[in-house]
A and B are shown apart, each in its own frame.
Chain A
């Protein structure tokens, strides 16, 4: 079966510190992978998506970057965090074409 893992579950980081969030998928190959951010428990904002190794599309300009070093690994990074980077970060993949996404359990990031 397909599963998606995210870690860490929670993270408190000071302003100006670097960030690395990792997402891995099991049970599938060549998945489309997505990073979303959710602020204040509401709408899902698509940040990045990737259709293959080394292929990253950015949806909105921001302080974050993404990388896909391996087929089933998707990493969200920042060199210097801002207060506005706080939020709930979700990784997702789409198991079936034309269908919905399966989400990871999320990372709650608080920048202080």
Chain B
């Protein structure tokens, strides 16, 4: 079946550092979604991308829709402790498909 891959699987960074993570697929998506899940909570939508090459920001977060339509990238600038969580990429088909997530830990 269709799968999304995310890398890295986990990250441990110092507060203030920038973060980069990506999501890849073997098939094309017309929409890319990025979610953040904090411990003990449901995932929350951060950014939605609808067009190949699109670059969208939400505060310190920036996401890009890859031009091949098979990948997407999420960057977090100047990380802070509250950035801790699991970041999921997702792509809608008849149902939304989620990647396995990137776990981010920020060391104060």
Contacts and interface: CB of A to CB of B under 8 A. Distances in A.
Indicate, yes or no, whether A interacts with B.
Answer: yes
Contacts of B31: 98-99
Interface residues of B, number: 23
Contacts of B90: 100-101
Interface stretch (B38-46, B53-61, B69-77): B38-46
B92 A103 contact: no
A41 B31 CA distance: 25
Contacts, number: 49
B100 A42 contact: yes
Contact of B42 (A43, A90, A94): A90
Give chain A's interface secondary structure class.
loop
For the side of the interface on A, what is the size category? 20 to 34
Given A34-B95, A42-B86, A103 B101 contact: no
A98 B92 contact: yes
Contacts of B86: 41-42
A8 B39 CA distance: 17
Interface stretch (A11-19, A63-71, A74-82, A104-112): A104-112
A34 B96 CA distance: 10
A105 B90 CA distance: 19
Given A41-B86, A100-B48, A100-B90, A94 B41 contact: no
A46 B43 contact: no
Contacts of A43: 98-101
Interface of A: 34, 41-44, 46, 49, 90, 92, 94, 98-106, 108
Given A100-B48, A103-B42, 10 more contacts: A42-B101, A42-B103, A44-B98, A98-B30, A100-B45, A101-B90, A101-B96, A102-B45, A103-B44, A108-B40
